[in-house]
Amino acid sequence: AQSVTQLGSHVSVSEGALVLLRCNYSSSVPPYLFWYVQYPNQGLQLLLKYTSAATLVKGINGFEAEFKKSETSFHLTKPSAHMSDAAEYFCAVSLNNAGNMLTFGGGTRLMVKP
């Protein structure tokens, strides 16, 4: 069975500071991994996805994530936080290369202080 654990349900950073949101996965086979962002009262927007190509994945809005098989991690980073980055972030895993039927983590709420 596959699962995703996001460490830290709430993360607070100052504007301009590094953003680091942690995600660890459990999967018996090479997974496909995703990061989504959810703004209040909205659906989920794909930030980036890992599908067994380059281990460092660049996404939208300056975010990137690195797949580390030895650590079973797929942490999301952004060098400099903006106020507009405040939202809920979800890590997800899919066992099929279709990238659907996703298993999501519990989410991390990112707060950005001025």
Partner 1 sequence: ETGVTQSPTHLIKTRGQQVTLRCSSQSGHNTVSWYQQALGQGPQFIFQYYREEENGRGNFPPRFSGLQFPNYSSELNVNALELDDSALYLCASSSTLSGGQVYGYTFGSGTRLTVV
Residues binding partner 1 (CB under 8 A): 4, 36, 41-46, 90, 92, 96-107
Q: Rounded CA gap, 111 and 62, in Å?
A: 17
Min CB(106)–partner 1 separation in Å: 5
CA quadruple 98, 37, 20, 60: dihedral, nearest 10: 70
Nearer to partner 1, 12 or 45 (CB): 45
- Comparison of 63 and 89: residue with beta carbon closer to partner 1: 89
CB of 33 to partner 1, least distance (A): 14
Shortest Å distance, C-beta 17 to partner 1: 25
Minimum CB separation of residue 43 from partner 1 in Å reads: 4
Tell which residue, 61, 70, 44, has the closest CA to residue 34: 44
Helix, strand, coil tally for the chain in percent (to 5): 10, 55, 40
Instruction: Tell me the backbone φ, ψ of residue 99, rounded to 5 degrees.
Output: 75, 25
With respect to partner 1, which residue has the nearer C-beta, 4 or 112?
Answer: 4
